[in-house]
Each structure stands twice: as C-alpha cells, then as structure tokens.
Amino acid sequence: MAKLIAGNWKMFKGPTETLAFFDAFESPENVEVVICPPFVSLEAAVAEEWPVFAQNVHWAEEGAFTGEISARMLVELGVQGSLVGHSERRLYFGETDETVRQRAEAALGAGLGVIACVGETEAEREAGETEAVLRRQVAVLPRHEALVIAYEPVWAIGTGRTATPELAQEAHALIKSLHETRVLYGGSVKPENAAELLSQPAVDGALVGGASLDAASFSSLCRIAASLS
C-alpha cells in the first residue's frame, strides 16, 4: 500500500500563498498526499484538485458554536476529510478524548475521512506513561475504514526533536494492536529523517508540519515516501 503523507499547514498560508504552493509542488506517483490548510484556504486548495482535509471539525451539524465549522459545511466545499485531536488543539483549546471522539464520529458520519492524532507529552513519557496514554486515547476512537491515526509525540511537535525510528516503531506497533488502521508518524518529520522513519514496518506514512510549508521540501519528502511504498 502507498504511504500516506499529510501536510498540516497550521495557521500558515492564505489563499494566495496556497495557490503559489501548488504551482511549485510536484508529487510523484505511488504516494497518497493530503493537504490540510487553514479554513480560509480550503476553497483555493480544493480548486487545485488535490485531496484536502480541514484541520478541525465540529460534532454538531449546526448551531450556536461561534468559530466552529461543521462536517456538512466541509462536504459542501469539496473537502475530503479532517484532522481531529491535534496536540495543539488539546493543549491550547481544551480538546479532550471525548470531544475528539465526537468530532471523529461526526466527520465519519458525514462521509469525511479522519486523521485522529494521539501522543504523549514529555512529562508522560518520562513518567513511563506512554503506553497508558496511547491506550486511553486510542480506545475512544471509532472503528471505521476512513479513519487513520497519527502518532505525534507531543515533545517532538515543532521542537526539531524526533522520536528515534525504534521508538516510533514501538508506539505504532502498540497502536496497531489496539486499532486496525493505518498509523502515521508526526513530529518534526523532514526530508533528512523521513527515510529511516518511513522504513519502519509499522509506519504507514507521516503527518508533516513545518516541512510541508515549502513546496520543494514537501515534494522531496513525498518522493522519499514513494520510494518506500
């Protein structure tokens, strides 16, 4: 099966920058690529006819939820899926395991794909709680063919630190024993370390942050993934 590479742009790139990115981006065959732009850039990205996921989705179909976007709205726009439970959503916006479950179920129920993020903090890893945290976070996720899990050790998000291939393999193997789905690695993935991470047998792809913002860097990373598929 082809590797899945998802680029999470976080709060970068408005519509103009999005179009410029796609003008420069070259993706090889034999790799599945998903782009996750900010809400304001979804329409521009969809127009480029690439698989596009939102960065978040609400569990209600509509209602008094200022600042939120429903799955039905994303479907109408032509978006194919959404991230849920990213560590930054958990850290800064009070996301919980329960709200992650609700968001995932709403998106899947509307026909969207889901990339659900799980992972331990540095304090949890140092306390030997990694397995317990992953078991708790994975347990709430629905079983669905359109759901993918992204393992992102929180201590590696945006820090330049990366889990060793052995640590990534261990965590992915645990997740796969709990949930039969593809599992992506997320945490400072870049062309320089992609090959050794993606070559691990339980690593089915990557959720890429900063390295997905530059078209040349992301193209390079996708070529590496294609060579390992």
What positions carry a catalytic annotation? 86, 152
Q: Is 119 left (phi over 0), alpha (psi -120 to 50) or beta?
A: left
Q: Are strands 183-186 and 205-208 parallel, antiparallel or unpaired?
A: parallel
Alpha carbon 30 to chain centroid, angstroms? 19
Structure tokens that stand for 200 in this block = 């691990």
**SS3 assignment, position 72:** helix
Alpha carbon 186 to chain centroid, angstroms? 7
| Ordered alpha helix ranges (H), the chain | 15-24, 42-47, 71-77, 87-93, 97-109, 122-126, 130-139, 165-178, 191-198, 215-228
Asked whether the beta carbons of 108 and 147 are under 8 A apart, the reply is yes
Q: How many residues does the chain have?
A: 229
Identity at 57, one-letter amino acid code: V
Cross-strand pairs, 8: 36
Asked whether the beta carbons of 174 and 203 are under 8 A apart, the reply is no
Q: What is the DSSP letter of 7?
A: E
Asked whether the beta carbons of 109 and 147 are under 8 A apart, the reply is no
